[in-house]
Amino acid sequence: MPQSSKRKIHNHKGAQGRRQKALFLPIPREDAERLMLRTRTMLERVRNGEANRVLVNSLGQVVLFTNFVIAAGHGALEPSFVDDVEHELGLVLLTADRTGEWHIPPELVENLTRVVNEYDRQLRETRLEIIAKASDHMEHLSKAGRGTGERSG
């Protein structure tokens, strides 16, 4: 028996409503845990003395993302603190470019740990709409960076 067009419209509105409702919930726990495992693994590598462009850039992306979510009103850290961490990571990159030596000071590792902990909390507690906007902003910055010939690795 064919469905009426009224029924199809109702089903479409129901699915759309569920998607809209999902924007007000945090991301699924499994997705947050997957993202955090990757991030915490990078942080552990840095804690163990490993430092290279990929690690610093990846942690820098976490710092930026965290700052975007804080700017949207969903953060437990002061934006100036996160800005300082971002600046210090930039100095690590500049020093490595100039000297060829990779070193992340212990104080920066401690501060990165605070930012990663905040990132973890944000992923678990902040609604999907805010996380999606921060992700879109990160993607926009990434595309802009590729357009300038910025080094990525």
Would the pLDDT of 150 be above 50?
Answer: no
What mean pLDDT value characterizes the chain? 85
Tell me, what's the pLDDT at 75? 93
Alpha carbon distance 20, 101 (integer Å): 48
Alpha carbon distance 86, 105 (integer Å): 14
87-124 pLDDT tens trace? 999 999 999 999 999 999 999 999 999 999 999 999 99
Alpha carbon distance 33, 25 (integer Å): 16
